[in-house]
Structure 1
Amino acid sequence: MKIAENAALGTRFSLENADDSDVGVNGIQKYTLKPADNFKLEVQNQPDGGRFVEMVLQNPLDREKEETHSLVLIASDGGEPRRSGTVRIHITVLDANDNSPVCSQPVYKAEVKENSPEGTVITTVSANDADNGANGQVTYSTAHVAKETKQLFEVNVQTGEIKVAGKLDFEKSKTYQLNVQASDHGGFSDTCKVIIQITDENDNVPTIQLMSFSNSISEDSPPGTTIAVLNVDDEDFDGNGAVKCSINSDVPFKIESSLTGYYTIVTEDFLDRESNPEYNLTITVSDQGSPPLSSSKNINVKVSDVNDSPPKFDHSEYTKTVAENNSPGLSVFTVSANDADWGQNARVSYFLQERDINGLAVSSLVSVNSDTGVIHAVISFDYEQIKWFEFNVTARDAGSPPLSSVATVKIIVQDQNDNAPQVLYPVQTGGSLVAEMVPRSADVGYLVTKVVAVDVDSGQNAWLSYKLQKATDRALFEVGLQNGEIRTIRQVTDKDAVKQRLTVIVEDNGQPSRSATVVVNVAVADSFPEVLSEFTELTHDKEYNDNLTFYLVLALAVVSFLFITCLVVIISVKIYRWRQSRILYHSNLPVIPYYPPRYSDTLGTGTLPHVYNYEVCRTTDSRKSDMKYIVAVCGAETVN
């Protein structure tokens, strides 16, 4: 039999009757139920004389205490000896949901690390339900939990496992409380508390915040000048939040701690902008976690300039060679000075220092561009007047107060071959004639005379050489190449002409070379009267030759002029006729016919004694298609 444990008292359960073949007293007389703790037996007589046996529940059943009951029903007759029959009754107590779930602990405590991954099991809650089957199945859920907390944790409905469902952050909340409810299917429940403690992890990088910062500092600032104040913070706790701040060691700065979490960066030494115009500072902050976390911040500090560096020339002395006869305004060369300062303090200007050079102010010889330092020649230099000169150039910056330096410039004037040789002897005169006498008894190598010449240039431009250009008798005289000496190269004879004319050219060694020519008259004679008569004729011949040349040139000029004049007149007449014909051709004036003269047959042998030629010009345009008529009369015959 199956009886629910929540069956009401007095509930009747019908039992089968026993059969006895005997009758009367020997038939069934009595039913007995053993044990009779929870049930009692009632026998009811039926109208047909039969009996109806029922089992009545007299004490409540409790499945949780006893799930089954075993009873024995005994049926006894009244005979002698007494006989009985038994039947075993197995009663299974069916469970009823009469027990609530009970949590194993009213309060659970658990720890979990922040930033634990989702799915991490924190703890497991459990509850027991004395019921059986579906009535004893417990499910778990959270009750009365904030939405944010519910998003961070999840409870397994069947097992009661509590897992991480979101990102835990110790810095946001250190403790969470969950109310976990254990419920059965009958609506009974029990609630327990789960307190979850979040343990800190070193998951926060220290932060750096500049409270004040000056990105520029003067290079004359004393040591200990503050350039930055910063605040350092780490949201972690204990060792994870303990920080240490430092800067890179290759800069002239140091970091000092003033208050907790506050640091000051100050200068450690004097600064020099010319050595290093700016510094890159790396601020590093690290905590003491495991593993430690760190962060850094870069700041750039510029060193502002102070005018503490004067301009410096590339050289203290400059030497430049300039060829003479230069054009005024020529750019000679450029001086340059550098200033290690910056901005206005580094803007360099150039000035000449006035002084006298051979009685002239230096500014009348050269000038300097104040911005670029280019030195220009003011005049054209002449080596023969000034061979070199020196002057000073000042470089001054625009700082306050300004600083300056001086460089010496030496200009060397280089000689050019701009002067031709000058013949000093023999002197060339316009009127009188000078001649050198050579006796007819002169031997080979006889010194006739010496051509003396000078060149005001210098160096190789003044090296002179002498050459015999023309001579009346080239076999009689020679000229020394270096000394200009005119000597005989053979014995003078009686056949040699008295009048000897030598043309000597004097050349220098310049590039290109320049030259001068001198005419040397030599008289080969033993007496002065002979020389005088010969050279008088020579003078007259020279004057005659000069007049003849003049007349020839004049005649050539006159003939050329007449030829050109005739040529111009002919061309003008041709142009005039052409223009007149063009005017007539384009005009609308009436045409006057032109009748050519009558021509006769001069031979008189033809049959046509007279020939008439007519050329008629009609309209202006008809000249494009002229018509000619030739009429010949012979008897009655007419030919058209």
Structure 2
Amino acid sequence: MSDRTMERQVLLFIWFLSLSSALGQVSYSIPEEMAKGSLVGNIAQDLGLDLKRLKSGKARIYTGDIAEYIELNKERGVLLIKERIDREALCGQTTPCALHLQITLENPMEFYSVTIEIVDVNDNSPVFAVKEIKFDISESSLTGAKFVLETAVDDDVGLNGVQSYFLHPADHFILKTQDMPDGSKNVEMILQKPLDREKQEHISLLLTAVDGGNPQMSGTIPIVITIEDANDNAPVCYLPVYKTSVAENSPKGTILTAVQASDADQGQNGKIEYHISKSSGGATNLFEIDRDEGVLRLSGDTDYERIKHYQIDVQARDPGRHSDTCKVIVDVIDVNDNKPVINIMSKSNTLSEDSKPGTAVTMLNVQDSDSGENGKVQCSINDNIPFKLKSTNNKFFSLVTDGDLDRERESEYNISVTCTDEGVPSLSSSVTLSLQISDVNDNAPVFRTTDSRKSDLKYIRPCSESIISLDSSGTQTLTHAQRERLNFDDCDDQYR
């Protein structure tokens, strides 16, 4: 192994160790709705960085496409709240909710990953989707008959979400709540005392939903019941849960599944209608159900990158407002509909021609919103250039030198970086990086001399020994044709 090759391998190894040691991760946890300027954490202390290094390295925060909620104070080395954070607007019902950002430094290039978890506070009350609940209940309804109630929605999560329901007064009906597999609650009103329309034609109740926050918050909805005759059996769904899936690019009208229920009553009292409950949230705008047949169809555009699962509450109701509820779970299947997005985190526009192999030139972040193979990305650059891409992980790439540079041979490079995902068909994006090679003093001056006696060359040190001959006295001479072919500009030095 030559000394030059060994030196190159040692430099590459040292560069790799320095890059690996530069990578780090810090996590913080803060409540939502903190005021602007509030302290998030002492990032310099937690990363073990000197304040001088933050300034000399031009430290800055890289957030990608998300809004800039956090700012870096380089004078104090701390992270501060730049914009008030609303956890519900940022993450919805997704938990945990976190901001992911990077801190980059230059000279040398380094970056650090920072995760900031946004903790929910109880700043939302339970809300019902409708203003009131109405029932027409037959006076022949048996004790124990159940009536499904609309549930409340609370934008807060965990204990700050809806925890319990109360019904007042409780003369004829009591409440029964059932915890569902997805963490929601199914609320039913159970008849515990026979009804008599001749004694009381209307009943007014108040349903209250209470969350578990501190301070506790609540929401209410009135229930208006009209007592009628003749319907003493409620519909019963064949299955409590239906599961189906749909590709995110499926056209409107695509059939997903069919919900079925039965009712022991005959004639008009046994006729069942199917309805999507308003408590299903945004699903009411994306799905529709045939009232008579229970066939569930797609009526909007789904996007896997935005919502991956939908849970739809379907009510099977008869004319007497007896009802049963079943849940339809729709899984959205990802398709390769997003190109990789190439973000330049840090970039050098000029590079000295004496830079060592392995010198970092540009740091790239590549994002693909698709999942699985559709989101896996491979990046490459154009051939026959002294550069290569190094992957620090599946989202970050470094462009480094991979050979000797010579400004006299090539003073500028236009490097094309292409990133392609592994979907079928695959999608790709490209970006061109322009890099100037700066000069160093690596060439000695060369004298170019002339003589009237062109046929008498006493000594010459040409670039190629193959065209030189010796005269009888041992002096190097060239024929006229040989002199014509010789380019003296390419020689180190020349004498005549």
**CA radius of gyration, larger in:** 1
Same fold (TM over 0.5): no
- TM-score, reference length from structure 1: 0.33
* Larger RCO, structure (CA 8 Å, separation 6 or more): 2
